[in-house]
Structure 1
Amino acid sequence: MPGNPFKASILSLIKAHPSGISEYNLIQRLLDCEEEFSFAEEGANLALFRQHFVVMNALYQLQTELFNEGMYLSISPLDIRLGPVTDPGLASLPDDNSATPLRDYYLDWENFFQTSYADVETMLTRFMERYLAIDERLDALQILELPADAPWEVIKQTYRRLAAQHHPDKGGDPVRFRAIRGAYEILIRCHAN
């Protein structure tokens, strides 16, 4: 599949949505018009991975091709859109070091062919673990009445202050104290990882 048979259809859909289109909507429209795009025989999660990979591969190829024609393809999961290059003096795509590994990954077809059902399941499990850990961390910070970007030193100081204030031996509420202690233990675990 190194030629990406869906690239022309993807470009057509992008051009049909000048105000932008999400990756989800792009995939749904491709499923409506391209029977081979379903990868249905692969199993649901592997099929979704393959659809995503093919779309990202086409987008990164198109980004380079269109840039050479004076157009910039902005790639974001929630907003894929085509517009003119704003700086006509640019000789190449803007170098975003954080996007380079991602771009390289999706332009390498070996990643498409070598990723198995088990690999996708592992990726999804890891993603969910990280997502839940972030959610758990935010809940713990809220219990300590701290913002999401609180540094570790502030977390420790706040915990000590609240624990002393709510400790049952000092007349504090035992339920509130246990909540504060539990929140701090979550934050210790998050900090260690």
Structure 2
Amino acid sequence: MTAEPHQPWLDLEHDLEVLLELLWAILEKHPAGFKEYDLLKRLELEGLVYFEGSLDDELVLFRQHFLLFHLLYLLRDRLRQDGVSDLHIHCLSIRLIPLVTMSRGSRAVAPEDPLRTYYLDWDHCRGTNRQDVIDMIRGFHQQVATRSSRDEALRVFGLTPHAGPGAVKQRFRELVRTHHPDFGGDRARFHQVMVAARVLLPIKR
């Protein structure tokens, strides 16, 4: 069984200011920003590895990810408070952006961000173990598979992703009348319609 990575929480608290300053300096030097993994590797080159092990280890990767986003939200709060700039935070794009201002120089108030709340609570990192991470990864892949199945089913129905339940039901009735073998339709095409219908119109139990 894979051992749990080392957890130097106190070291993080001691080095917090240094980490924030270094992260800000890196982002200033790279206005195009980074993808999350590229930024993690850049911080690794700087020697900022707070959890022993490789990023290929799912638990180490999760904790490094959590640490990075914890720092990013702290940095964004500080930059906004000081009126310096803003920070775009997304796994595919982390970059400094201009601070949005309103009339008379007052800064716009950003809506509450549930991700910020999550990442600023360090107990979420402390309380997440290897099995939790495996379950999260499995759940993510299941969501992707579900979305892919729905996209394919919508393609079979000839509908857009924004189609509502009413439009789906109406389209289903039209396709059945067109492709049912009893009405002279193609059996293979009708089978495709029925498979898609199982995704878009799940049976209520």
- Please confirm whether the aligned pair reaches a TM-score higher than 0.5, indicating the same fold: yes
* One of 105, 109, 114 as aligned partner of 1:94: 109
- TM-superposed CA distance for 1:184, in Å, is 0.4
8 Å contact from structure 1 (residues 57, 106) kept in 2: yes
Deviation larger for 16-25 or 103-112? 16-25
What pairs up with 1:1-193 in 2 under 5 angstroms? Answer: 1=9, 3=13, 5=16, 6-34=19-47, 36-37=49-50, 39-40=52-53, 44-70=57-83, 71-87=85-101, 88-90=105-107, 94-97=109-112, 99=113, 101-189=114-202
Q: Structure 1 residues 36, 19: closer, same or farther in 2, change over 3 A? A: closer
Mark the CA change 1:132 to 1:46 in structure 2 (over 3 Å): closer, same or farther: same
Residue in structure 1 matched with residue 5 of structure 2 by the alignment: none
Amino acid at match of 1:33: E
Task: Say whether the 8 Å CA contact 2:172–2:197 is kept in structure 1.
Answer: yes
Q: Distance in 2 between matches of 1:180 and 1:47?
A: 44
Change in Cα spacing, 1:39 to 1:187, as seen in structure 2 (3 Å) is farther
Partner of 1:75, secondary structure, is strand
**How many positions carry a matched residue from both structures?**
187
Structure 1 pair 188/51, CA: closer, same or farther in 2 (3 Å)? same
Q: Is the 8 A contact 2:43 2:49 kept in 1?
A: no
Structure 2: how far apart are the matches of 1:42 and 1:161?
A: 51
- Paired residue type of 1:94: V
Instruction: Output the CA distance in 2 between the equivalents of 1:140 and 1:84.
Output: 41
The structure 1 segments of at least 4 consecutive aligned residues displaced by more than 4 Å after TM superposition are none
Work out whether residues 31 and 37 of structure 1, in 8 Å CA contact, stay in contact via their aligned partners in 2. Answer: no
SS at the partner of 1:52?
helix
Alpha-carbon distance, 1:144 to partner:
0.8
TM norm structure 2? 0.83
Q: CA deviation at 1:177?
A: 0.3
| Unaligned residue ranges in structure 2 (runs of 5+) | 1-8
TM-superposed CA distance for 1:35, in Å, is: 5.5
Q: 1:9: Cα distance to partner?
A: 2.9
Identity of aligned residues (%): 32
